[in-house]
Amino acid sequence: MGSKSAEETINNMAAMIEEQGLTKAQVVDILRQMMEIRALENNISNLLGRAVLKGASHLYAGQEAVAVGAVSALRDDDLITSTHRGHGHAHAHGDSAATTPEAKQEHYNKMMAEVLGKSGGYCRGKGGSMHIADVEHGNLGATGIVGGNIPVAVGAALAQKIQGADRVVLCFFGDGASNTGNFHEALNMASLWDLPVVFIVENNLYAMSVPWKKASKLPDVADRAVAYGIPGVVVDGMDPLAVRASVQEAVDRARRGEGPTIVEAKTYRWFGHSHSDPRAYRTKEEEADWRSRDPIKTMGQGLIAAGVIGEEEFEELDEFVSGKLDKAMAFSEASPVPKGEELTTDVYAPAKWTADDFAADRRLRAAIKEDPSQFPEMMYSQALAQAMREEMTKDERVFLMGEDIGLYGGAYGATRGLWEEFGEWRVLDTPISEATIAGAAVGAAMAGMRPVSEIMYVDFTPLAMDQLANQGAKNRYMFGGHTSVPLVCRTEGGAGRAIAAHHSQSLESLWTHFPGIYVVMPSTPYDAKGLLKAAIQDDNPVMFIEHKMLYKTKGPVPEEDYIIPFGVADVKREGKDVTIVTYSRMVLRALEAAEILAKEGIDVEVIDLRTLKPLDVDTIVTSIRKTGRLVGLTEAYENTSFINEVMVRINEEAFDWLDAPMIRVASANVPVPRAEILEDLCIPNVNRIAEACRKAVS
What are the C-alpha distances in Å from 110 to residues 82, 136, 322, 378, 532? 17, 13, 16, 54, 39
Q: Which of 500, 439, 561 is nearest to 171 (CA)?
A: 439
Query: Alpha-carbon Rg of the chain, whole angstroms?
Result: 28
Q: How many residues does the chain have?
A: 698
Helix/strand number for the chain, H first, E second: 24, 20
162 and 425 Cβ atoms separated by less than 8 Å:
yes
d(CA 80, CA 442): 14
| Annotation says 502 is catalytic | no
What are the C-alpha distances in Å from 71 to residues 191, 247, 265, 404? 22, 8, 13, 37
241 and 17 Cβ atoms separated by less than 8 Å:
yes
347 and 484 Cβ atoms separated by less than 8 Å:
no
Strand extents, DSSP E, 360-442: 377-379, 398-402, 427-429
502, 503, 513, 547: which is the annotated catalytic residue?
503
399 and 449 Cβ atoms separated by less than 8 Å:
yes
**Cα 500 to the chain's mean position, in Å?**
30
What are the C-alpha distances in Å from 670 to residues 495, 631, 666, 691? 13, 22, 11, 22
Query: Interhelix angle for 87-97 vs 101-115, to 10°?
Result: 160
d(CA 378, CA 527): 12
Cis omega (within 30 of 0) for bond into 522 = no
Q: Which of 161, 230, 185 is nearest to 424 (CA)?
A: 161
What are the C-alpha distances in Å from 653 to residues 142, 377, 621, 622, 628? 40, 39, 7, 11, 13
d(CA 682, CA 635): 9
- Residue 567: φ, ψ to 5°: 85, 20
d(CA 266, CA 63): 9
d(CA 59, CA 284): 19
Catalytic residues: 503
